[in-house]
Amino acid sequence: RIRHRGPDWSGCIIAGNHIFCHERLAIVGVDSGAQPITNADNSIILSVNGEIYNYLNLKKLLNDPQPYVTQSDCEIILHLYREIGDKVVDHLDGQFAFVLYDKKADRLIAARDPIGITTLYYGYDSRSPKSIYFASEMKSLNEDCDRILSFPPGHLYDSKTGQIRRWFDPNWWSEEVIASAPLDYTLLKRKLEHSVRKRLMSEVPYGVLLSGGLDSSLIASIAVRETRNVVRRKTSRPVLRTDSEDGNSNLLAARDVAKFLKTKHHEYIFTIQEGLDAISDVIYHLETYDVTTVRASTPMYLLSRKIKAIGVKMVLSGEGSDEIFGGYLYFHSAPSAEALHQETVKRVKNLHTSDCLRANKSTLAWGLEARVPFLDIKFLDVAMNVDPKDKMCSSEHIEKYILRKAFDTSHDPTLEPYLPDNILWRQKEQFSDGVGYSWIDSLRDEAERKISDEEFAKRDTRWPDDTPQTKEAFWYRQEFEKWFPEKACTESVVRWVPRTDWGCSPDPSGRSQKVHTQAYHK
């Protein structure tokens, strides 16, 4: 069911009444990283999806180093667990979801990275109440479990207690504690550059998803500089793009960025019909019927197939910036700095239900891994502690002003610019809008064609819980139900909507917000 996530190899280990299966996508330790991984005496079994960026440093912390079975960055989890138990999660810097079994202690632990970049689900079967199931995607569980939940980010399950506890507890996590740290542009910039640098860890060709918007353009710019500074593989790969065929602001912007950065640029033009034809498959892979996520995931899904076809296995992407800095256009309506901060914290904490889910599943549908530098925990520690007064939008300050200003070199003509001014100070376009306004309009038109007024009038009876409010939402819910008819499959679905209590339009399209196309000064 999830071989698309790991087409390079399959592995299975049975230990007592535990079964571990793994589908591998080889990025680091390509020749010797088969999974599940075991230690030298086979007493510990590890099945993991992810990347541990600080694995080399963690190796130095081991008091009693044991022979390594693979060259995988993830094997450090197994060895560190042997020495410090479940505190291993406190030391991991990366994106990951893993299940580990200690035969000697008859102990099973499972954990997910702090923000939920890597997907993980768990389930129960009432016919076997002592059993617990884990999987990277829900489709592996839906026929065996009558309750399926998204495993919460930054949490750990321990069979010794039977409980799931939160281990990730930064000082910005509470929505009630309002940040107050003074703004430090240099620190903000340095932390993002370091985040990109560590994510270039790869033994395979890599690229950058470039939309032409601020976030992906900054990541691409930093990646180009880091690649210049480090001796890398000659197969280092180009910046990659997707756009629809018309009404398209991002296409030209992406070309400008690629030309400015001197990257090898690829464009993929998809037709409206190709996008519409992919909707059902996209919903199957996403395992959600959220309108925003489906809209934005379809171009990413189509692009990922093209990327994989040219031999790239890893891409950097710009998810997370809008949640951290209040970048969505509805943030212009925030009634106060405190309200803006609370909303950014809430959005970051729920990224695993929307943008992280999209980035992970749209790409891994084709065996392509996405890495997201904005969600680095050290960068978050700086960015989420900035006084929210500095994040407020106004007639003078465009959204994400402080991020733009951190990379603005106009004050010193001797410095190499990160981006052209027209990109650095370009207004936010949500991805589903930026690929072409006709894409969203066509989805609405297709929903009108597919869903009759009579069907739509009965939506409350068909779905009394989480009732779709538009024909487009009805269409996606209907497609979801075709793939996942079991009631257990809806419990993990969360819908993304702007803050209507701020006077914002409930439509997730950025075009629906009143500040769209407003002009700003630097």
Q: How far out from the chain centre does Cα 174 lie?
A: 21
pLDDT one-digit tens code per residue, 178-217: 999 999 999 999 999 999 999 998 888 889 999 889 999 9
- Helices marked H in 139-271 — which ranges? 185-198, 214-229, 249-261
Contact of 500 with 507, CB cutoff 8 Å: no
Q: How confident is the model at residue 148 (pLDDT cuts 50, 70, 90)?
A: very high
pLDDT one-digit tens code per residue, 25-58: 988 877 776 899 999 999 999 999 999 999 999 9
Q: Which of 324, 308, 329, 316 is nearest to 434 (CA)?
A: 329
Predicted confidence (pLDDT) at residue 431 exceeds the cutoff of 70? no
Q: How confident is the model at residue 249 (pLDDT cuts 50, 70, 90)?
A: low
Look at residue 247 in the predicted model and tell me its pLDDT: 42
Higher confidence at residue 212 or residue 92? 92
Report whether 73 belongs to an annotated binding site.
yes
Look at residue 465 in the predicted model and tell me its pLDDT: 93
Question: What counts of helices (H) and strands (E) characterise the chain?
Answer: 18, 18
**Span(s) in the chain for CATH 3.60.20.10:** 3-166
Predicted confidence (pLDDT) at residue 379 exceeds the cutoff of 50? yes
Predicted confidence (pLDDT) at residue 522 exceeds the cutoff of 70? no
Exposure string over 271-292, b if 16+ CB within 10 A, otherwise e: ebeebbebbeebbbbbbbbbbb
Question: Residue 229 to residues 65, 277, 316: CA-CA distances in angstroms?
Answer: 32, 43, 18
Contacts of 294 (CB under 8 A, 6+ apart): 279, 282, 283, 286, 288, 476
Length of the chain: 522
Please state, in angstroms and rounded to a whole number, the distance separating the CA atoms of residues 515 and 522.
Answer: 16
Higher confidence at residue 167 or residue 71? 167
Predicted confidence (pLDDT) at residue 233 exceeds the cutoff of 80? no
Q: What kind and span of H or E run contains 462?
A: helix 459-462
Report whether 336 belongs to an annotated binding site.
no
Please state, in angstroms and rounded to a whole number, the distance separating the CA atoms of residues 389 and 338.
Answer: 8
| CATH class for the region spanning 3-166 | alpha beta
Q: What kind and span of H or E run contains 369?
A: strand 369-371
Please state, in angstroms and rounded to a whole number, the distance separating the CA atoms of residues 361 and 4.
Answer: 10
Give the range among 29-43, 387-401, 469-483 with minimum mean pLDDT.
29-43
Predicted confidence (pLDDT) at residue 361 exceeds the cutoff of 80? yes
| 142, amino acid identity | N
Look at residue 461 in the predicted model and tell me its pLDDT: 97
DSSP state of 160: T
Measure the N-to-C terminal CA separation of the chain; round to a whole number of Å.
50
Q: Which of 231, 229, 250 is nearest to 241 (CA)?
A: 250
Question: Residue 366 to residues 7, 39, 150, 303, 359: CA-CA distances in angstroms?
Answer: 9, 30, 22, 10, 12
Domain 185-420+433-512 sits in CATH at: 3.40.50.620
Please state, in angstroms and rounded to a whole number, the distance separating the CA atoms of residues 35 and 11.
Answer: 6
- Helices marked H in 310-436 — which ranges? 321-325, 337-349, 355-364, 377-383, 401-406, 421-424, 431-434
Look at residue 331 in the predicted model and tell me its pLDDT: 94
329-348: average pLDDT: 96
1-22: average pLDDT: 95
Q: How far out from the chain centre does Cα 469 lie?
A: 26
Look at residue 248 in the predicted model and tell me its pLDDT: 62
DSSP state of 370: E
Please identify which residue in the block is written with the tokens 């929307």.
354
Contacts of 521 (CB under 8 A, 6+ apart): 396
Give the range among 11-25, 49-63, 491-505 with minimum mean pLDDT.
491-505
Average pLDDT over the chain reads: 91
Written as six digits, the tokens of 509 are: 């399209």
Contact of 268 with 300, CB cutoff 8 Å: no
Give the range among 104-118, 318-332, 352-366, 502-516 with minimum mean pLDDT.
502-516
Contacts of 259 (CB under 8 A, 6+ apart): 265
**Span(s) in the chain for CATH 3.40.50.620:** 185-420+433-512
Give the range among 218-232, 338-352, 367-381, 410-424 with minimum mean pLDDT.
218-232
Please state, in angstroms and rounded to a whole number, the distance separating the CA atoms of residues 71 and 307.
Answer: 26
- Burial status of residue 51 (CB atoms within 10 A of its CB: 0-12, 13-18, 19 or more): buried
The Cβ-side half-sphere exposure at 392, using a 13 Å CA radius, reads: 13
Contact of 147 with 488, CB cutoff 8 Å: yes
pLDDT one-digit tens code per residue, 252-272: 888 899 899 988 888 888 899
Cis amide prior to 170 (ω within 30 degrees):
no
Predicted confidence (pLDDT) at residue 294 exceeds the cutoff of 70? yes
Query: What order do you get walking across the sheet with 155-158 strand by strand?
Result: 37-38, 44-52, 94-102, 107-112, 155-158, 163-166
Written as six digits, the tokens of 503 are: 């006077």
Contacts of 519 (CB under 8 A, 6+ apart): none
Q: What kind and span of H or E run contains 474?
A: helix 471-483
Q: Which of 424, 180, 219, 210 is nearest to 321 (CA)?
A: 219
Contact of 67 with 40, CB cutoff 8 Å: yes
Predicted confidence (pLDDT) at residue 246 exceeds the cutoff of 70? no
